[in-house]
Amino acid sequence: MAEVVGRDDELASILAFLDDGASSAILLEGEAGIGKTTLWRAGVEAARDRGHTVLSCNPSGSETHFSLSALRDLLDDDFDALADGLPEPQQRALRVALLRSEPEEAAPQPSAVAASFLNALRALAGRGPVLVAVDDVQWLDSPSAEVIEYAARRLRGDPIRLLLSARTEGVAKVKYTAAGIACPAQVDATASLTGKGIAGKASVKVAAGKTTTIAIPVKAKAGTTGPATFKIVLKTNGRTTTETCKVRVVVTK
C-alpha cells in the first residue's frame, strides 16, 4: 500500500467498509490538499489486494464539459468482461456511450445508458465484489454523475461499493484566454458563480495573451448539486467584457 502517514482511523474505516459489506458507499471529504486522494488510492489498492474488481476514474476540472468522459474512464479497461454479461441492446447502448460504436439511429437515451451501466455492474458483481472508485466527484461531467447516481441509488444487496472523494467547498474552475482583448499589459478578471443555493466570486490578474485558471470558493447550501451559471467579467482600461458559461457544481458539505 502507498505510504500513508497517520490517518489510522480513516484507513481502518476504509478497510472495514471493504470487508464488512455493511454500507455501499464511503465518501472521503475535506479541504484541498488535506489527503483525500492519498486515502482514496490506499482504498483502491486495498480493494485490489482483496480481489475486488476496481473501476476507477479521477476526473479533473478541465473535463467537466466532456460528456461521459468519466464513465469511459471507469469502464474502458473492463469493457469486454462487462459487455459479456449484458443483453445485446444494453451492450449497444454502452458501446455507443463509450464511443466504441457508431449509433445505429438515434444516440441511446441517457436512461438506457444508466440502466446498462447498473446491469453491467451487477453482471461484474456476479463474479466477485466490485468497487467503483471516483476521486474528486465534484469534477464529474454531468452525464457521468447522473449515470453513477442512478446506479448508486439502486445498489441493494449487491457486492458493489462506491469509494468517493470530494472537496468540502465547491470549486469551479474555468480556463479562458485574454488574447484578443484590447488591454494593457494585463487584465483584471473577476469571475462570479451563481446558481440555485450557491454563490462565489474570485479575482485574478491575467497577463495579456495568457491562459489562466480561476478557482472560485463557493458558498453553498449542503446538498447543492447541478449546473450553475458562471460569469467571467474582464475589466480592462475603459472596457468590460462579460462571458457566460455553464459549469456543474457538486457540493457535499
Q: Which residues bind ligand ATP (CB under 6 A)?
A: 3-7, 30, 32-38, 136, 167
Shortest CB 108 distance to Mg ion, Å: 32
Shortest CB 7 distance to ligand ATP, Å: 5
H or E element, residue 44: helix 36-49
Which of ligand ATP, Mg ion, none interacts with 5 (beta carbon under 5 to 8 A by kind)? ligand ATP
Residue 178 and residue 186: Cα distance in Å, rounded? 8
Q: The cell 479541504 sits on which residue?
A: 31
What is residue 121's three-state secondary structure?
A: helix
Residue 61 and residue 159: Cα distance in Å, rounded? 30
> Which residue has the closest beta carbon to ligand ATP?
35
Alpha carbon of residue 127 to chain centroid: 26
Which of ligand ATP, Mg ion, none interacts with 180 (beta carbon under 5 to 8 A by kind)? none
| Binders in 61-90 for Mg ion, by CB under 5 A | none
Alpha carbon of residue 143 to chain centroid: 10
- Between 90 and 165, whose beta carbon lies closer to Mg ion? 165
- Between 7 and 219, whose beta carbon lies closer to ligand ATP? 7
Shortest CB 163 distance to Mg ion, Å: 13
Shortest CB 39 distance to ligand ATP, Å: 7
| Binders in 5-44 for Mg ion, by CB under 5 A | 36-37
Shortest CB 40 distance to Mg ion, Å: 7
The CA-based angle 222-60-31, given to 5 degrees, is: 45
Residue 21 and residue 16: Cα distance in Å, rounded? 8
Find, among 152, 134, 158, 141, the residue nearest to 43 by Cα.
134
- Between 13 and 58, whose beta carbon lies closer to Mg ion? 58
The residues of the shown chain that bind Mg ion, judged by CB under 5 A, are 36-37
